[in-house]
Amino acid sequence: MNSEILEKIAGILFDKDGTLLRYDESWGPVNREAARIAAAGNAELEPQLLFSGGMDPVSGHTRADSLLAAGNAAEIAAGFVSAGSPLDVADLTRLLDELFIRSADYSVPVTDLAVFFSRLKARGLKLGVASSDNEAAIRQTAIRFGFLEHLDFIAGYDSGHGVKPTAGMVLGFCRATGLEPTQVAMVGDNNHDMHMGANAGVGLKVAVLTGTGSPETLSAASDICIDDITGLETLLPQATVGA
């Protein structure tokens, strides 16, 4: 990894699910509930909806870059309706957004996020979260795990910055913090995150393995792949962070 690139990084924009939160533990039960809601009482339809969204209904594993792994509530709702849900897309989107806000209460963090974000903030970094989830759910997660006060920017699919993998969320982070895209590290577990970073021209695209992606699925689109977000603390040089 080029040390000059690392030394320029002054802000980190994090994906949420699979990056700050362990995906299978946090979202496996939520995806099953989403399918139950979408099936509207048809138990035989539930596993079909999960499979169509990219989740194995038996193992609970969700396929990298699949609809459930990377889509927002509106996209998931449209996919479920295409796969047989009898509900209206708009109604199902609303129900899924409500479910995803509640899901913060059952999320499993990768590390002690309050301590982790506090340490990064102390190094002078600008910090943000950009997720395909809705903004209210992101805020609820940040409140629950005690890192809201350390965030300079929050963007969900409904925040007005566009959706992944377009560049809008990254550019919104830059506007909010005064940084150039080349000063930003984009951190995520899916290629949607890496492609968003590339589309915005970020300085560093960091893939993590706490979500649905793997080195095989992420290596082509990322600059570096690390086990989890805690590796950022040793990846970024102390003396120059935030300079």
**DSSP string of 174-225?**
HHHHT--GGGEEEEESSHHHHHHHHHHT-SEEEEESSSS--HHHHTTT-SEE
Q: Let me know whether 134 and 15 are in one domain.
A: yes
pLDDT digits (tens, 9 = 90+) for 197-208: 999 999 999 999
Q: Let me know whether 9 and 124 are in one domain.
A: yes
Is residue 51 within 8 Å of 57, Cβ to Cβ?
A: yes
CATH of the domain at 144: 3.40.50.1000
Q: Let me know whether 113 and 205 are in one domain.
A: yes
Q: Let me know whether 223 and 115 are in one domain.
A: yes
pLDDT at 240: 42
Q: Let me know whether 118 and 50 are in one domain.
A: no
Please count the other Cβ atoms lying within 10 Å of the Cβ belonging to residue 230.
16
Q: Per the structure, how many domains does the chain have?
A: 2
pLDDT at 70: 95
Domain boundary among 52, 86, 106: 106
Q: Give Cα 8 distance to the centre of its chain.
A: 23
User: Does 238 or 133 have the greater pLDDT score?
Assistant: 133
DSSP code for 127: E
Is 70 exceeded by the pLDDT of residue 241?
no
pLDDT at 239: 46
Is residue 25 within 8 Å of 17, Cβ to Cβ?
A: no
Is 50 exceeded by the pLDDT of residue 148?
yes
Domain boundary among 106, 137, 152: 106
Average pLDDT (13-20) is: 98
User: Could you tell me if residue 243 is inside a domain?
Assistant: no
Whole-model pTM above 0.75?
Answer: yes
Give the residue from 52, 80, 66 showing the smallest Cα distance to 23.
Answer: 66
Q: Let me know whether 79 and 12 are in one domain.
A: no
Is 80 exceeded by the pLDDT of residue 180?
yes
Q: Please provide the size of the chain in residues.
A: 243
C-alpha 116/C-alpha 15 separation (Å) is 15
Q: What residues have CB less than 8 Å from 9, skipping those under 6 apart?
A: 125, 183, 184, 185, 203, 204, 236, 241
Q: Which domain holds residue 197?
A: 3-22+109-235
DSSP code for 165: T
Give the residue from 125, 193, 106, 204 showing the smallest Cα distance to 155.
Answer: 193
pLDDT digits (tens, 9 = 90+) for 35-84: 999 999 999 999 999 999 999 999 999 999 999 999 999 999 999 999 99
pLDDT at 17: 96
Name the residue type at position 193: D
Q: Let me know whether 57 and 154 are in one domain.
A: no
pLDDT at 238: 74
pLDDT band at 2, cuts 50/70/90? Answer: confident
